[in-house]
Amino acid sequence: MKIRRYRESDRDAIRRITAESFEGVSVDNNLEKLFGLAGGTDWQQRKVAGVNAELDAYTDHIFVCEADGQVAGYVTTMVDRSTRIGHIRNLAVDRNRRKAGIGKRLIDKALQYFREEEMEVAKIETMEQNDICRKFYPTFGFKEYARQIYYALRL
């Protein structure tokens, strides 16, 4: 098992892992439960499109875990060189490979990368309903600093 930088041939696996991973832990999934499809798109399509855009925009700031020649998980990040804040944007592990330490290794890699890039703060968000991550992230030393409420109105 190794953590390495993203390459273009990882894209399909990342899209698949994304589509499978965020049930119950995605803002768009919550919105769909309330209002149904948005413009004919389901929440998974929108989530995959968001991650896909990150693969294009932040190609050099994305890391994957490769196990047995397959992508087993990924983390996407962004570094803001003016504020020196590193942002972990998306993290997911193949559901068949969870609870084997891959998520931890991906976060460790992102934090190591931020230090190399001379970031001064690392930030990450999770949903209140994401029971795993609410326990997982503080184990790295992340401190909660804000909560946000999402509202939607049918037009």
Ligand X SMILES: CC(C)(COP(=O)(O)OP(=O)(O)OC[C@H]1O[C@@H](n2cnc3c(N)ncnc32)[C@H](O)[C@@H]1OP(=O)(O)O)[C@@H](O)C(=O)NCCC(=O)NCCS
Shortest distance, position 155 Cβ to ligand X, whole Å? 29
| Closest residue by beta carbon to ligand X | 103
Instruction: Output 68 or 82, the one with its CB closest to ligand X.
Output: 68
What residues does 93 pair with on adjacent strands?
A: 73
Q: Nearest distance from residue 154's CB to ligand X, in Å?
A: 27
Q: Is 100 in the site for ligand X (CB under 6 A)?
A: yes
98 sits near ligand X (criterion: CB under 6 A): yes
Decide: is 27 part of the binding site for ligand X (CB under 6 A). no
Q: Specify the residue, 27 or 85, whose C-beta has the smaller distance to ligand X.
A: 27
Please tell me whether residue 142 binds ligand X under the rule CB under 6 A: no
Query: Contacts with ligand X: how many residues (CB under 6 A)?
Result: 18
Q: Segment near ligand X (CB under 6 A), from 30-38, 42-50, 127-135, 146-154?
A: 127-135
User: In this structure, are residues 55 and 62 in contact, taking their beta carbons and an 8 Å threshold?
Assistant: yes
Which own/partner pairs from 90-99 qualify as long-range (CB within 8 Å, at least 24 positions apart)? 90/18, 90/50, 90/51, 90/54, 91/124, 92/17, 92/18, 92/21, 92/22, 93/17, 93/21, 93/65, 94/17, 94/20, 94/70, 95/20, 95/21, 97/67, 97/72, 97/73
CA gap 45, 31 in Å, rounded: 13
Is 111 among the residues that bind ligand X (CB under 6 A)?
no
Distance of alpha carbon 87 from the chain centroid: 10
Site of interaction with ligand X (CB under 6 A):
21-22, 25, 91-93, 98-104, 126, 130, 132-133, 136
